[in-house]
Amino acid sequence: MKTTVPIIAAFLSGFVMLLAFFFNPETSALGKLEPEVLSWVTIVGGFTLLLGVVSIVRVNYSSVKRKSSGWGYKLATLISIFAMAIPAIVPVRWSSLFGTGTGSIYDWLFNYIDSPMMSTMFAMLAFYIASAAFRAFRARSAEATLLLVTATLVMLWRVPMGEAFLSGIHPDIPDLINTYIMNGANMAVQRGIIIGAALGAAAMSLRIMLGIERTYMGK
């Protein structure tokens, strides 16, 4: 029962969504099932989000209690979770500092602590990306040389200083890059990746519906 019921539920959910796609929700009872199933997906997603919060609190609390390696960072994680969650949950009628509106504790923490930390993280990632690009864009072959030239032109095109430099060489170069590289070769590659990802998603969905893929049950 522990494996049979989840497999049946996964198969029926996927099969209903697959059939409902081909029916009009305004004229067919089967088509009306699609928004109903999507509503249940949202409900289940809410419970999984709550489960994730409980899980991260339990794991970090155990590490802090044992004072294992790096327990100070885990304590900061727990403090951050409760500092953001509790003021947002408390009813606004108790005080204007509660809730998620402008001027609340949650709003202040998000704007002056969370957002600057996210900006710092993405700024640091830029250096790692530049380091990886330096290692990858080495002209060791014809393909690598083409990648190097294309990446250089795109990076110059994306910044105002580089665009001014390219326009100084010829005013039509930025438009040519936008037309033939970004909307041409780049678009073709993106569509190929999207098609491949869609085929992979379809194959994975079929494996889940048929009970071949059971990782969602913890196996």
Structure confidence by residue, pLDDT tens digits, 120-177: 988 888 788 777 777 766 667 777 777 777 777 777 777 787 778 777 888 887 777 7
DSSP state of 215: G
* φ, ψ for residue 26, nearest 5 deg: -85, -25
Measured distance CA(23)–CA(21) in Å, rounded: 6
Coil, strand or helix: which one is 28? coil
H/E stretch holding 130 reads helix 115-136
Q: Is the pTM of this model over 0.75?
A: no
Mean pLDDT of the chain, nearest integer: 82
